């Protein structure tokens, strides 16, 4: 099972630059998770909306056009697809797609939930940092609740936080910047402490 996760920083720009097809043709992925798509499904060419050989799912921001957004392309047909985590105030920006595979898939015998997330950036002020941390907390509760129901959890995406000093170019210079604040990094520590594996 080959899963690719990629922050496109705008899917329409990625397509225009000729970088969309090569991702599929070169790597032959089973599942592709894209973040920061910045587009609604209807704004994309038909061949991208319905990429040959894949089932495709999209979530876009309900509050701002051309902002955030995630997409999943999968060869394995999910049993159920959901947007968000059931928290209305955190589910309006098109940040999560949740796919349920009740019979699992290659390499995993148990039922599986695959989540693609574009997690909030806390950089535009205290309110957004608070929103980001609230999103983080709600997400961890969400996946832990699903795991207790017997699901294997795979979550991909851009968490908008560098976990350790090796994860960014100038750690010392960024110690007081959002994306590398101790409180943000501590959330990733909590995720790992809950027995999730960071494959990065």
- CA–CA separation, 136 vs 85, rounded Å? 11
Q: Which residue is listed with tokens 């110690």? A: 175
Half-sphere exposure (CA, 13 Å, Cβ side) for 127?
1
**Which residue among 158, 189, 194, 195 is the active-site one?**
158
CATH H-level, domain 3-160: superfamily: Endonuclease/exonuclease/phosphatase (3.60.10.10)
Q: pLDDT per residue over 117-127, tens digit each? A: 999 998 878 89
Q: How confident is the model at residue 107 (pLDDT cuts 50, 70, 90)?
A: confident
Residues for the chain: how many in total?
A: 200
Q: pLDDT per residue over 26-40, tens digit each? A: 999 999 999 999 999
Residue-level pLDDT at 160: 93
Lowest average pLDDT, out of 4-13, 55-64, 142-151, 172-181, goes to 172-181
Strand pairing report for 152-158 and 112-118: parallel
pTM of structure: 0.94
Q: Write the DSSP string, 136-185.
A: HHHHHHHHHHHHHTT-EEEEEEE-S---SGGGSS-TGGGTTSTTS-HHHH
Q: How confident is the model at residue 46 (pLDDT cuts 50, 70, 90)?
A: very high
| Per-chain mean pLDDT for the chain | 94
Residue spans per domain, the chain: 3-160
Lowest average pLDDT, out of 78-87, 150-159, 164-173, goes to 164-173
Residue-level pLDDT at 105: 81
- CA–CA separation, 58 vs 8, rounded Å? 14
Residue scoring higher pLDDT (95 or 165)? 95
Residue-level pLDDT at 165: 87
158 is catalytic: yes
Q: Is the pLDDT of residue 108 over 90?
A: no
């Amino acid at each position: 099972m080959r899963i690719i996760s990629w922050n496109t920083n705008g899917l329409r720009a990625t397509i225009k630059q000729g970088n969309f097809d090569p991702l599929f043709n070169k790597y032959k992925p089973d599942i592709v998770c894209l973040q920061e798509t910045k587009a609604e499904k209807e704004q994309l060419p038909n061949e991208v909306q319905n990429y040959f050989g894949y089932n495709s799912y999209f979530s876009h921001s309900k509050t701002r056009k051309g902002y955030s957004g995630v997409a999943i392309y999968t060869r394995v047909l999910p049993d159920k697809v959901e947007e968000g985590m059931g928290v209305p105030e955190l589910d309006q920006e098109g940040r999560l797609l949740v796919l349920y595979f009740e019979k699992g898939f290659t390499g995993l015998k148990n039922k599986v939930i695959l989540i693609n997330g574009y997690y909030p950036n806390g950089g535009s002020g205290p309110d957004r940092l608070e929103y980001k941390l609230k999103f983080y907390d709600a997400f961890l509760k969400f996946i832990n609740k699903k795991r207790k129901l017997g699901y294997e959890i795979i979550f991909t995406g851009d968490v908008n936080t560098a976990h350790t000093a090796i994860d960014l170019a100038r750690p010392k210079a960024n110690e007081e910047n959002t994306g590398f604040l101790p409180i943000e990094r501590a959330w990733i520590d909590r995720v790992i402490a809950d027995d999730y594996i960071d494959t990065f």
